[in-house]
Amino acid sequence: MSIRLSKLLDPPAMQVLTTHCPYCKHQVDSTIEHIDGPVVCPGCKKPFEIEMPTAVVSSVNEVDETKMDKRQMAAEPEERTLLQVHPVVFRARPIKTLVLGTVFLVAAALMILSVTETSIAGYSFAETTKLGPASLLTWACAITLLLIVGTVGYWILLSQFTTLTVTSDRTIFQKGLIARETSEVQHDDVRNIQLDQTFLQRMLGVGGIGISSSGQDDLEVVAKRLPHPEHIIDRIRQNQG
C-alpha cells in the first residue's frame, strides 16, 4: 500500500495522507491527526488502518571534508571592502603647497625670460653671469624647478604607498616605500577611535585618526592626512559588533 504525504496551504495548515483502499483500490485521503484509529473507505465502506510513513536510511557514504567544494558548505559571510583611501597630497600641506607653487611660477618665468633673452627696463636676463651656453640664472631656475618637481613627486609616491582599508570586519593600515609596515584592528575589538584635526584641516576636509583595541594601551593604527576622516570613523562604527 503506497502512501503519499502532502501539505494543505490553506489555513490551518494540515498534512494529508493519500493512499488507496486495500479492498477496492479507491483513493482515500486522511490527515495525520485522524489516523489513530481505522479509516473507513468511502467506496466500499470497509475499515482499514493507515500506517504513518517513516524514512528509512538505505546507505551511508563517508565524505572527505578536504575534497568538498567550499561552495557546498555553510560558511561565514565573506569579508567586504567598504572603502580604501590614500592620504591627500596638497590639501594636507596647504602652506608648503602655496610656497612651492609661488617659487615654481617665479622660477619658470625667470627661466623663460633668460632663455628668450628678453630685456625688461634695459636689463637683459640672458647676460646674467654667463656659464657655458646658458646664464647662471637659467641654471639656477632649472635646478629649482627640478627640486620642486622632485618634492611633489615624492609626496605623491608616499601617498600612493600609504593605504587605509576599511572592510566589514577590520581596519588595515599599510605604509612604506621599501620596507612595508602593516597594522590592523578587528572592529569587534575596537576600544577607542581618536580624531586629530586642526581648524584649517577641518575647513579643508583633512585629518588623522588613531585606533586602539581592547587590551592595548597604545594606538595600533595611526593614519594622518586622510580625506574626510569623519566618514571613515562612521564606517568603522557602523561595522562594530
**Residue 138 or 182, more confident:** 182
The band of 7, judged by pLDDT with boundaries at 50, 70 and 90, is very low
Distances (CA, A) of 77 to 80, 81, 162, 204, 235: 9, 13, 28, 37, 18
Higher pLDDT residue, 163 or 72? Answer: 163
pTM of the model: 0.61
- Quote the percentage of the chain above a pLDDT of 90: 46
Residue with cell 488507496: 20
Q: What is the mean pLDDT of residues 104-130?
A: 71
Band of pLDDT at residue 8, cut at 50, 70 and 90? very low
Q: How far apart, in whole angstroms, are the C-alpha atoms of residue 180 and residue 161? A: 9
pLDDT of residue 39: 75
Q: Is the pLDDT of residue 56 over 80?
A: no
| Grid cell locating 56 | 528509512
Q: 4 falls in which pLDDT band (50, 70, 90)? A: low
- Convert the pLDDT of each residue in 116-128 to its tens digit: 766 655 555 555 4
Predicted confidence (pLDDT) at residue 70 exceeds the cutoff of 70:
no
Count of other CB atoms within 10 angstroms of residue 129: 10
Contact 221, 171 (CB under 8 A): yes
CB of 16 within 8 A of CB of 6? yes
Handedness of CA 193, 196, 199, 205 (dihedral sign): negative
Residues ≥6 apart with Cβ < 8 Å to 130: 136
Residue 54, pLDDT score? 65
Q: By the 8 A CB rule, do 191 and 214 touch?
A: yes
pLDDT digits (tens, 9 = 90+) for 167-189: 999 999 999 888 889 999 999 99
> What is the sign, positive or negative, of the torsion defined by CA atoms of 112, 114, 119, 123?
positive
For residue 57 the three cell numbers come to 536510511
